[in-house]
Amino acid sequence: MDLVLFDLDNTLLAGDSDVAWTQFLIEEAVLDEAAQKMRNLVFYEQYKAGTLNIHEFLDFQLAPLARYPRERLDAWHRAYMERHIRPMIRPAARALVDGHLQRGALAAVVTATNSFVAWPIAREFGIAHLIATVPAQENGAFTGKPRGLPAFQAGKIARVEAWLESLGLNFKSFEQSWFYSDSHNDLPLLQRVAKPVAVDPDKILGEYALAHGWDILQLHKTT
């Protein structure tokens, strides 16, 4: 059996789910556009540069979850999936996932995106496992803070290893292990698997992948 791990944003999706969620909340007048849009873009640029403070970002990203009841959040998420996420899913990405699943791989999405946002997207791809940043809850309501280690940079390795351990497995349990990602932020986990694949990679990851003979896959870019 193979282990196959997929990054989410700009890998399985032709876009960023965190950015899109904030944009959706702005469209719904839940967040103020002037105050939120610029900050959202600043965090995104920091992520691309590899300078993101994940805890500052999570304070920003998780705060709206604490302000509204779960029923309203779930209704918003359904609309967000239809308006923003499904248009980001390309046939090539679905075919990539389906191919691995049909060959019997153990597959998971591994993403810094919080699990409230990410779970329905993973299910849209038919992926049964998610390693994501966990938004804390108390009495069924989100607190606006994360719980445990964020699934970001080297944190992804720790979270994946803990998940495998919970299944009685480890990386050596598999014939092959794969990780697909677009971002140099994921170099720690890419270096951990047997078959790292750079998907429409950013400049830093693209250069690293070329230098180390890694596979480079285009799922979204046409040129």
Helical pair 70-80 and 115-124, crossing angle rounded to 10 deg: 40
CA 191 to chain centre: 18
CA 96 to chain centre: 16
- The single residue of 7, 16, 182, 202 carrying the catalytic annotation is 7
Q: Which helix (H) or strand (E) holds 34?
A: helix 33-49
Q: Is 186 among the residues known to form the active site?
A: no
Q: Is 200 among the residues known to form the active site?
A: no
Q: Which residue has the tokens 């965090």?
A: 43
- The single residue of 9, 16, 182, 186 carrying the catalytic annotation is 9
In order of 84, 107, 149, 159, 209, the CA distances from 129 in angstroms are: 22, 7, 17, 12, 27
Residues labelled as active-site residues = 7, 9
